[in-house]
Amino acid sequence: MSDHAITTPAAGNRGAARIGEFPTWILISTIYGGWFAVTWFFESLPWWVVAPAGAWFVAWHNSFQHEALHGHPSRHVWLNELLAWPPLCLWIPFPIYRDSHQAHHETPALTDPYEDPESFYLTRSQWEQTSPVRRAVLIVNNTLAGRMVIGPWLAAVALWKTQLLTIAGGDRRYLGAWVIHFALAGLMFGWLWQVCGISPLDYVLMFAWPGLSLSLVRSYYEHRPAPEQDGRTAIVDAGPLMSLLFLNNNLHVVHHDRPELPWFALPAIYRRDREDILRRVRGFHFPGGYLGIARRFAFRPKDVPVVPD
């Protein structure tokens, strides 16, 4: 957390206290209700309705999982995790994501590939030892189009490879999480295939893959290497639709300053402290929203994925 983290009471805190976690409970009901509706009516809907709707609800669920691991909507950790466990996106068990993300928040060296488990960057020595083909793939992955198309595959394969090697090496701390994950996925596919007529391939292509792709739009412009911790976390002035999809995590430095706050409290803090926040991000601010990011970086790398020495 930055030395300049916001610690004074804010209007957002008072507003959140008045309404409690009611918005998050409504959110959860909408996400699961929407997902069930799209799957139930799958055979009567055209693919061009199913695919964007499926991607939206899976990405929205990913955003909720992030909210749950930060202690929402309940004071009971077990209930928050129970609500977040269903593997709509398929690729990662919730406990692995939870522990990785908590380590990301705790590190004093954001984007450092040795310290930050969510880093998309390599050290200079790692980069020099990487093959030209893999370098090209990583540079393509630093375009927004690349992040959306090949990013899900790179993220999933990296996780699965690491987990297989870890378990094979005798570290079985997440073996139980994988067993539960596969059991829940099996139950989910029982609903999808036997009841709704959705094959596993259909679900991957129209729900899971595009859902993760949409979530990666947020993380694409979230952190960067910088000489100091200030300047490594971004602000994206997104419109209401994308802000809702990402649960205001586009105001990412505000979230890092106050990770315990619910998603609906972040905008008020940003409005109140905007001048100070924008000074601290040291230019890592995109006022044009995600459409502006797409216009600028759709086919152009935002940087080379190497942390400075």
Confidence of residue 16 (pLDDT cuts 50, 70, 90): low
Q: What is the mean pLDDT of the chain?
A: 94
Taking 80 as the threshold, does the pLDDT of residue 309 lie above it?
Answer: no
3 part of a folded domain: no
Mean pLDDT for the stretch of residues 239-263:
98
What's the total number of domains in the chain? Answer: 1
Amino acid in position 42: F
- The pLDDT of 94-108, averaged and rounded, is 97
State the pLDDT at residue 203: 99
- Is residue 305, in this structure, part of any structural domain at all? no
pLDDT band at 149 (very low <50, low <70, confident <90, very high): very high
Query: Tens digit of pLDDT for each residue in 201-234?
Result: 999 999 999 999 999 999 999 999 998 889 999 9
Average pLDDT of span 254-278: 98
Taking residues 197-202, what's their average pLDDT?
98
How far is residue 213's CA from residue 242's CA, in Å, rounded to a whole number? 14
In a domain, residue 194? The reply is: yes
pLDDT of residue 11: 43
Q: What is the spatial distance between Cα 79 and Cα 252, in angstroms, rounded to a whole number?
A: 25
Q: What is the CA radius of gyration of the chain?
A: 19
The two structure tokens encoding residue 262: 């619910």
Residues spanned by the domain of 176: 11-297
Please report, for residues 84, 184, 204, 263, the alpha-carbon distance to residue 32 in angstroms, rounded to integers and kept in the order given: 11, 15, 18, 18
Per-residue pLDDT tens over the stretch 56-94: 999 999 999 999 999 999 999 999 999 999 999 999 999
Cβ atoms of 304 and 142 within 8 Å: the answer is yes
97 touches 65 (CB < 8 A): yes
Q: Is the pLDDT of residue 10 over 60?
A: no
In a domain, residue 271? The reply is yes
Of the candidates 156, 184, 194, 208, the one whose C-alpha atom is nearest the C-alpha of residue 50 is 208
Q: Are 281 and 253 in contact, with CB atoms under 8 Å apart?
A: yes
Confidence of residue 19 (pLDDT cuts 50, 70, 90): low
Task: Look up residue 167 and give its two tokens.
Answer: 């378990």
Q: What angle do CA 74, 76, 77 make, to 5 degrees?
A: 105
